[in-house]
């Protein structure tokens, strides 16, 4: 195996082109510190807009939190004074709805099964060979 030397090219490969860095001709002149004045003013505008949005979001969060606290304090007192049966009826109303749906679907399946039994085994309307 041949030893490689830095900077040498292998057969079939071209050496890298040495290009000067490209600067757009119409761009504003850059200061040694980095940004132009226009870029600094644009960055300041964007930062102000972001800060305003953050403040609005924080205020909305605070309002929601305060509203939740006020409903918790007023709602929990009346709820704690109610008997257990009233609280259970409020909290488990969805269970009642689900049980009614289950009974309705199960009853309809049993009715369909009964009709099929009568048609197939009793009346012999449908013949299975």
Residue 10 within a domain? no
Q: Which has more pLDDT, 25 or 116?
A: 116
Residue 104 within a domain? yes
pLDDT at position 82:
76
Q: How many domains does the chain have?
A: 2
- DSSP percent split of the chain into helix, strand, coil, nearest 5: 65, 0, 35
Residue 36: count other Cβ atoms within 10 Å of its Cβ.
14
Note whether 41 and 73 are same-domain residues: yes
Residue 39 within a domain? yes
Note whether 39 and 76 are same-domain residues: yes
- Note the pTM of the prediction, 2 decimals: 0.33
Residue 126 belongs to domain spanning: 92-129
Q: How confident is the model at residue 126 (pLDDT cuts 50, 70, 90)?
A: confident
Note whether 98 and 126 are same-domain residues: yes
Question: Lowest-pLDDT range, 11-25, 28-42, 109-123?
Answer: 11-25
Residue 64 within a domain? yes
Q: How confident is the model at residue 25 (pLDDT cuts 50, 70, 90)?
A: low
Q: How confident is the model at residue 67 (pLDDT cuts 50, 70, 90)?
A: confident
């Amino acid at each position: 195996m041949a030893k490689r030397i830095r900077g040498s090219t292998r057969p079939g490969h071209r050496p890298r082109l040495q290009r000067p860095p490209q600067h757009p001709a119409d761009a504003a002149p850059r200061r040694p510190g980095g940004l132009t004045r226009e870029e600094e003013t644009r960055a300041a505008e964007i930062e102000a807009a972001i800060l305003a949005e953050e403040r609005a979001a924080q205020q909305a969060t605070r309002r929601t939190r305060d509203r939740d606290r006020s409903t918790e304090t007023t709602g929990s007192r009346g709820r704690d004074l109610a008997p257990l049966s009233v609280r259970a009826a409020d909290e488990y109303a969805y269970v009642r709805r689900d049980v009614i749906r289950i009974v309705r679907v199960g009853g309809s399946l049993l009715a369909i099964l009964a009709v099929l039994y009568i048609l197939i085994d009793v009346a012999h309307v449908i013949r299975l060979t």
